[in-house]
Chain A
């Protein structure tokens, strides 16, 4: 079997525990070690990705050799293989960025929490067990709380406190949801739940699903529970902000999608879809409206990120294969673009001391490469043709039309219009206002930035191969019958 895929979990965990020992040997080795570990993780993830996409079969890792549903299994299908790679690559790039951007001590604890955040997100995406999902979600959440408070300013503590309280309430809800589903079906394995979903008590299914979705909505930044997000994004260290936006949110969104579709045979399922569509719509509207009046650029990007996440949630809740694939495509594109945006804004904030709008005046002359990258990213988010997000927005619109949700089209177009307003305002500030001396840009970071820009443009020009991958990944979530067939369930019957 391909049990080496379990290294995706084991390597970050082992390395995180190794860091306190390493710190005693040499303090300066901690940050390079972080970059090295994330590089190895990227290598393993790339191997897993190649294997899953060449054989077309998921890699199933069984913990301790117990077959599911008795043991816990990891399910690395098309979706998980893709996003494990995205997580690893984003972590690697942010580990490089951390060397420059994080100067507050203690760096060893930063590196540990960084690895645990990566571990938690990887686990959330690859697990096949609903309680294991909760545990990985809490690993992600607790490292995220600690990383938000890492700068030790009053504002950072305030942001972290909001996050902890909301996250604590959310995880309690999630656990109640698990209790309801376990009480009704007597199993925690996702494939087994999907197999038995038709038998579940309709009330338990509805309430349980709603509670699970509310619990995950904290991490996934859906409307009533996302008040922590802009504060945390603004106050967290810059690389961490990029990680939140690039994959922590995506892992929770994926978990929402997975849990939603494994229970699709349950009675009253479509009312939960409507609930998620309403939440997503409110998220988009409020996110875009709040982004419009921000003066801090990092906070503006945070609201913009929330709005995009709302679009992804709507796509997941359309209930069709195309909708799910389109939102997976949007997740992938958004991960690239927002990693780029938060990296560049963080870099500007490190060099010029702050992310307020006036720091960006004359940036085109002071830091040309960074300014160019922000411009490309902004144009891409608005959805201009020949850039990647155009294609995923188009796919979302097509999927919404197919699912008879015509007003979603108006929502997406309206959101793009609002995005155009504030991003073009930012581009105008960067290129046509103010003067300044040239700042020497770090060549490694410039290389990373240009790499991401190149990726945006390549996907924009050749969307087809990427869209094929996304359709496979989306099918992994949508096609529950295939998912159940892939997991070697022991012959346990209700």
Chain B
């Protein structure tokens, strides 16, 4: 199996595990970020063609000698979205800590039913 696929799916699963199993909210968000990194890596490896160079047309590099440029545009967008989500989540966590004085998800439970 292609090692890039293996590594990226492993990263996704590690991140997913952290989201599911960790009690600390910050650790859950770290898990979420790891998951996003894994997804981005997977997207990039989908477009990789063995032995070709970066898709910037310069001297000696013609379109048939470059890897697929589309996944790179997708990943660029996805990275920005991931950072925005993380920033928003962290600001929510700051407010949560001020109000609840804890970051344990088992104690953050005023909304139920």
> Which residues of A are interface residues toward B (Cβ below 8 A)?
131, 134-135, 138, 142, 145-146, 149, 152-155, 157-161, 164-165, 167-169, 171-172, 175-176, 178-179, 182-183, 188, 230-231, 234-235, 290, 293-294, 299
Contact = CB atoms under 8 A, between A and B. Distances in A.
B1 interface: no
A287 to B, nearest CB: 13
Nearest to B84: A142
Given A142-B84, A145-B88, A161-B96, 14 more contacts: A138-B84, A138-B85, A145-B89, A146-B88, A159-B111, A161-B25, A164-B85, A169-B35, A172-B35, A175-B39, A176-B42, A188-B70, A235-B111, A294-B113
B92 A165 contact: no
Contact of A157 (B42, B46, B99): B99
Interface string B1-35: 00000000000100110010000010011001001
B113 A293 contact: yes
Contact of B113 (A131, A176, A299): A299
B78 interface: yes
Contacts of B36: 168, 172
A373 B15 CA distance: 47
B74 interface: yes
Nearest to B98: A154
Contacts of A168: 32, 35-36, 85, 89
A164 B12 CA distance: 17
14 contacts: A138-B84, A142-B88, A154-B95, A154-B110, A157-B92, A158-B109, A168-B36, A169-B19, A176-B39, A179-B39, A179-B43, A182-B71, A230-B111, A294-B113
Contacts of A158: 96, 100, 108-111
B95 to A, nearest CB: 5
A157 B109 CA distance: 11
Contacts of B57: none
A155 B111 contact: yes
Contact of A164 (B70, B92, B99, B100): B92
Contacts of B84: 138, 142
A164 B71 contact: no
Nearest to B36: A172
Nearest to B43: A179
Contact of A142 (B12, B16, B85, B99): B85
Interface of B is mostly: helix
B77 interface: yes
B96 A182 contact: no
Contacts of A153: 99
B88 A169 contact: no
Contacts of B70: 182, 188
Contact of B96 (A157, A167, A172): A157
A138 to B, nearest CB: 5
Contacts, number: 102
Query: Which of A131, A172, A293 has the most B CB atoms < 10 Å from its CB?
Result: A172
Given A168-B36, A176-B42, A155 B110 contact: yes
Nearest to B90: A164
A149 B92 contact: yes
Contacts of A183: 46
A457 B94 CA distance: 47
A165 B89 contact: yes
B93 interface: yes
B54 interface: no
Contacts of B100: 154, 158
A181 to B, nearest CB: 10
Contacts of A149: 92, 95
B61 interface: no
A138 B109 CA distance: 27
Contacts of B110: 154-155, 158
Contact of A176 (B12, B81, B96, B108): B12
B32 A169 contact: yes
Give the 9 A-B residue pairs with the shortest CB-CB distance, closest first: A154-B99, A183-B46, A157-B96, A164-B89, A231-B111, A168-B32, A157-B95, A138-B81, A175-B39
Interface string B29-72: 10010011011001100100000000000000000000000110
Contacts of A145: 85, 88-89, 92
Nearest to B77: A135
A256 to B, nearest CB: 20
Given A155-B110, A168-B36, A168-B85, A161 B77 contact: no
Contacts of A171: 81, 85
Contacts of B109: 158
